[in-house]
Homo-oligomer: A and B are copies of this chain.
Amino acid sequence: MTTQLCADADEAVAGIEDGSTVLVGGFGMAGMPVALIDALIRQGAKDLTVVSNNAGNGDTGLAALLAEGRVRKVICSFPRQRDSYVFDGLYRADRIELEVVPQGSLAERMRAAGAGIGAFYCPTGAGTLLAEGKETRVIDGRPHVLEYPIRGDVALIGAHRADRMGNLVYRKTARNFGPVMATAATTVVAQVREIVETGAIDPETVVTPSIYVDRVVQEGTA
């Protein structure tokens, strides 16, 4: 349905419900939807499951959401970083649940959700701790782990530019998880640096077509 151009980040995150699974884009600060996370903190939804590559840095962004006790579970590939002390503290206090997923399987499981794939056999992680309890199968002589889709109720992503229809382009390695998360959530919210007229993005270069994007907000309109 038609992409909604939001007046500010608060409008963009309106309606996110308690208990939602929220996919949060970015790899480090590149592609991180900071304005949307800040708006989600103000918005108040709690008991969230957050799916993101990391589990927050320092005291801002995801870390601030975690610090407010709003996140029940984190699904990520790398929670432990030099400045992930907010997550570390919650984890050691047994106040947050953690599912560690190899980075590629994290991306592929969201891709499967977006692509209507029911499950897939993946060689990554076979024979390791992270495959414990998972179904396995040897295919072509190689062990594989059966992985299921990760779906979001909401995806919050950062992109570079949108047209008014909702087509997105990214910039350099800030592309990372955004295009995959945009396919995997019921409601997809993108913060962008600029919004251009429909037709101003070359159709050959669109990375996330408008069909995947529900709401767009320009950064700085917070």
Residues on A facing B (Cβ under 8 Å)? 108, 112, 115-123, 137, 139-140, 142, 144, 148, 169-172, 202-205
Contact = CB atoms under 8 A, between A and B. Distances in A.
Given A121-B117, A122-B117, A204 B204 contact: no
A139 B123 CA distance: 21
B118 A121 contact: yes
A117 B120 contact: yes
State the number of copies, please.
2
Contacts of A112: 120
A170 to B, nearest CB: 8
B120 A144 contact: no
B204 A171 contact: yes
Contact of A119 (B108, B121, B169, B202): B121
Nearest to A202: B205
A140 B118 CA distance: 8
A59 to B, nearest CB: 33
A216 to B, nearest CB: 19
A144 B142 CA distance: 23
Contacts of A118: 120-123, 137, 139-140, 142, 144
A139 to B, nearest CB: 4
